[in-house]
């Protein structure tokens, strides 16, 4: 199937005079996850992972992906004629280096400019001089006869009782930021920023309750480009009341091309190449992060209170799941897929639950050593009453977005596993207990989570935490925790009151075990004095950390106190919603321990 598709694509490439064709994993909005309509890279290579880039020439087809997917990609690409390029490995060229080596001056590199952002387009222009970039044709779309339809799910209004702030207020804040940047026009294509600004939600991307749309703002006007079929009369009237005009989804390209002589605020890394090319030259571009991204990271007091409520609901669901798992392990058949479905069933019982906030990572034993392991109905492991099971999951509720990882002891552990489990919990609790002066960014605090690892010559190869949206994307800029600067991730904002951030240290021993303990926490103000404004964190995730994995010989008295304090709060907040054996079990699971 894939060889035939590649042959059809190469025929199109010859017809269009294209020598190399680039296929990223992206939609028109640079979303982290994409709907089925946009899975062009999967269609042409057969690789189903969530990250990767394909390049097809007349002689070769290559797929670049990262270490999370090396094993999966090797399996899925077998026999397709597509070569796996393991990103970051010695001797493996980058996409740009490959294109440089495999095309000559005067040749044409093709891509659909709607799925490549302006930053990447400019990189290609710089690294591939004397080549022609052809970006106006979707060659995959021309050969994909049974392509799924573009998602067009109904749009709904998120009531201000959930947000604490009207869309009119949010639009006014963004227009103020436009003014500060000297911009007359703001082009927005990031779906979470648009949904936040207009207080609307939808279902066009799995796990992200957003709406396929573009928004162009001026000082007095708003132009929303959207599929009209998604709007009922109530939503149309609501948008009209905000001064928003409705246009067909695809009309954004002609509209943008008609903007001349203006100063335009847009974020090149978030706006596609086709739109940017149509406004370049005729206008002055102010390339800064979307103001909405920074504004929406600061949850309102109403959102903060709702987030606490969502996490109590989620805590009840996950606590009941942990009880069920520990009670039934070894007694009934369990595998990574079936237990993930069981966890989802507990969440579905909670009022206000909508959908998962991302694809659940359900990993038993050695599989947990792969950070972003995904069990499938064709490829999964069976749980046994020994070792550990890791589950990283989350929910979308009207009251907010959750994201939690718990590693659950399901049988005897080795001494090494107990030590690793204990230092992981210590890292989570130490970072959550931080007190710091306003002005700190995540890098200032990351060591608290890694100290017990680094002291032992250990580490985990991922960020310690990411920002989380409010009934929006589970990964949200601009706040985060990591130990070194990664500028392109744009997670280096000063930590402010109202920011919701994950705290998720872990350890991954290939072929043996993986452990991660993740809580979400709100940044809060502490006291203000002669030294300045102090800040602190408030854990909102309320689920026990498995005491069966804790060995206090590795902990300080302070570590023990932090764990006991956290468990006391978990019991106080979750026990009122449990009865009988579940409640008794929670009491035991959150009992105070001592060194």
Predicted pLDDT of residue 70: 86
Predicted pLDDT of residue 359: 93
Residue of 91, 21, 100 lying closest to 53 (CA atoms) = 21
Pick the CATH number of 300-589 from 1.10.3720.10, 3.90.230.10, 2.60.40.1120, 3.90.1640.10: 3.90.230.10
- Computed over every residue of the chain, the mean pLDDT equals 96
| The domains spanning 2-143 and 156-293 adopt the same CATH topology | yes
| 3 state SS of 320 | helix
Predicted pLDDT of residue 383: 97
Predicted pLDDT of residue 71: 80
Mean pLDDT (whole number) for 114-124: 96
- Split at pLDDT 50, 70, 90, the class of 505 is very high
CA 477, CA 522: separation in Å to the nearest integer? 15
**Is residue 21 scored above 90 in pLDDT?**
yes
Predicted pLDDT of residue 72: 85
Predicted pLDDT of residue 372: 76
Dump pLDDT digits (tens) for 428-449. Answer: 999 999 999 999 999 999 999 9
Query: Could you tell me where the DSSP H helices lie in 23-165?
Result: 40-45, 70-77, 95-102, 118-127, 139-143, 160-163
Burial annotation 387-410 (CB, 10 A radius, 16+ → b, else e): bbbbbbbbbbbbbbbbbbbbbbbb
How far, in Å, are 13, 106, 118, 459 from residue 132 at the CA level?
14, 7, 16, 44
Dump pLDDT digits (tens) for 552-576. Answer: 999 999 999 999 999 999 999 999 9
Cβ-based neighbours of 98, under 8 Å, separated by 6 or more? 55, 62, 85
Mean pLDDT (whole number) for 281-300: 96
Predicted pLDDT of residue 526: 98
Cβ-based neighbours of 593, under 8 Å, separated by 6 or more? 547, 550, 552, 560, 563, 564
Predicted pLDDT of residue 486: 83
Predicted pLDDT of residue 294: 96
Dump pLDDT digits (tens) for 358-397. Answer: 999 999 999 999 887 888 888 899 999 999 999 999 999 9
Residue of 477, 134, 122 lying closest to 285 (CA atoms) = 122
- Split at pLDDT 50, 70, 90, the class of 198 is very high
Predicted pLDDT of residue 69: 84
φ/ψ of residue 361, rounded to 5: -95, 110
Domain ranges of the chain: 2-143, 156-293, 300-589
Dump pLDDT digits (tens) for 333-363. Answer: 999 999 999 999 999 999 999 999 999 999 9
Dump pLDDT digits (tens) for 80-94. Answer: 999 999 998 999 999
| 3 state SS of 123 | helix
Fold of 156-293: Creatine Amidinohydrolase; Chain A, domain 1 (3.40.350)
Predicted pLDDT of residue 158: 97
Mean pLDDT (whole number) for 395-424: 98
CA 438, CA 497: separation in Å to the nearest integer? 9
- Contact 520/507 with Cβ under 8 angstroms? no
Predicted pLDDT of residue 317: 98
Predicted pLDDT of residue 73: 92
Element (H, E) at 56: strand 53-57
| 3 state SS of 238 | helix
Predicted pLDDT of residue 487: 82
State the CATH architecture for 2-143: 3-Layer(aba) Sandwich (3.40)
Dump pLDDT digits (tens) for 207-242. Answer: 999 999 999 999 999 999 999 999 999 999 999 999
Percent of the chain scoring above 70 in pLDDT: 100
CA 304, CA 538: separation in Å to the nearest integer? 11
Give pTM, 2 decimals.
Answer: 0.95
SS (H, E, C) 179-234: HHCCCCEEEECCHHHHHHHHCEECCCECCECCCCEEEEEECCCEEEEECHHHCCHH
Dump pLDDT digits (tens) for 49-102. Answer: 889 999 999 999 999 998 778 888 998 999 999 999 999 899 999 999 999 999
Predicted pLDDT of residue 476: 96
Dump pLDDT digits (tens) for 474-490. Answer: 999 999 999 998 888 88
């Amino acid at each position: 199937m894939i060889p035939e598709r590649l042959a059809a694509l190469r025929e199109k490439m010859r017809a269009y005079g294209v020598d190399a064709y680039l296929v990223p994993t992206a939609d028109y909005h640079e979303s982290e996850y994409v709907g089925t309509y946009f899975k062009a890279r999967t269609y042409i290579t057969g690789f189903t992972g969530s990250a990767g880039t394909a390049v097809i020439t007349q002689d070769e087809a290559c797929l670049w992906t990262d270490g999370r997917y090396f094993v999966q990609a090797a399996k899925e690409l077998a026999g397709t004629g597509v070569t796996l390029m393991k990103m970051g490995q010695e001797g493996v060229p980058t996409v740009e280096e490959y294109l440089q080596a495999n095309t000559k001056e005067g040749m044409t590199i093709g891509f659909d400019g709607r799925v490549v952002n302006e930053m990447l387009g400019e990189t290609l222009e710089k690294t591939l001089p004397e080549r022609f970039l052809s970006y106006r044709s979707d060659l995959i779309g021309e050969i994909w006869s049974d392509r799924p339809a573009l998602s067009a799910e109904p749009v709904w209004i998120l009531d201000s009782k959930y947000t604490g702030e009207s869309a009119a207020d949010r639009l006014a804040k963004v227009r103020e930021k436009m003014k500060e940047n000297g911009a007359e026009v703001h082009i927005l294509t990031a779906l979470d920023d648009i949904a936040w600004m207009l207080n609307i939600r939808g279902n066009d991307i799995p796990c992200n309750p957003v709406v396929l749309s573009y928004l162009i703002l001026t000082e007095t006007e708003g132009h929303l480009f959207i599929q009209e079929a998604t709007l009922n009369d109530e939503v149309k009237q609501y948008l009209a009341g905000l001064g928003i005009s409705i246009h067909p989804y695809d009309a954004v390209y002609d509209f943008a091309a008609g903007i001349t002589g203006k100063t335009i605020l847009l974020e090149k890394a978030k706006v596609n190449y086709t739109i940017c090319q149509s406004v370049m030259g005729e206008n002055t571009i102010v390339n800064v992060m979307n103001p909405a991204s920074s504004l929406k990271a600061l949850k309102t007091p109403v959102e903060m209170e709702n987030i606490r409520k969502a996490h109590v609901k989620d805590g009840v669901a996950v606590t009941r799941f942990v009880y069920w798992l520990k009670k039934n392990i070894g007694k009934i058949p369990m595998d990574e897929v079936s237990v993930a479905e069981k966890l989802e069933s507990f969440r579905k019982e909670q009022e206000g639950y909508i959908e998962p906030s991302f694809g659940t990572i359900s990993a038993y034993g050695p599989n947990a050593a792969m950070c972003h392991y995904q069990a499938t109905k064709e490829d999964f492991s069976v749980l046994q009453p020994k070792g550990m099971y890791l589950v990283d999951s989350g929910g979308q509720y009207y009251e907010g977005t959750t994201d939690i990882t718990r590693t659950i002891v399901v049988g005897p552990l080795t001494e090494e596993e107990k030590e690793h489990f204990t230092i992981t919990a210590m890292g989570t609790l130490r970072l959550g207990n931080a007190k710091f002066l306003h002005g700190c960014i995540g890098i200032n605090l990351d060591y608290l989570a890694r100290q017990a690892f680094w002291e032992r010559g250990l580490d985990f190869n991922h960020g310690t935490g990411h920002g989380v949206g409010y009934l929006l994307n589970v990964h949200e800029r601009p706040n985060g925790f990591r130990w070194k600067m990664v500028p392109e991730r744009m997670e280096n904002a000063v930590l402010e009151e109202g920011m919701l951030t994950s705290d998720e240290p872990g350890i991954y021993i290939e072929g043996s075990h993986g452990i991660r303990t993740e809580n979400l926490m709100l940044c809060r103000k502490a006291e203000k004095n002669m030294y300045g404004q102090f800040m602190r964190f408030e854990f909102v995730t309320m689920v026990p950390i498995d005491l069966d994995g804790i060995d206090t010989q590795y902990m300080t008295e302070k570590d023990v106190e932090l764990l006991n304090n956290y468990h006391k709060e978990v019991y106080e907040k979750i026990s009122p919603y449990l009865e009988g054996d579940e409640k008794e079990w929670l009491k035991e699971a959150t009992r105070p321990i001592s060194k």
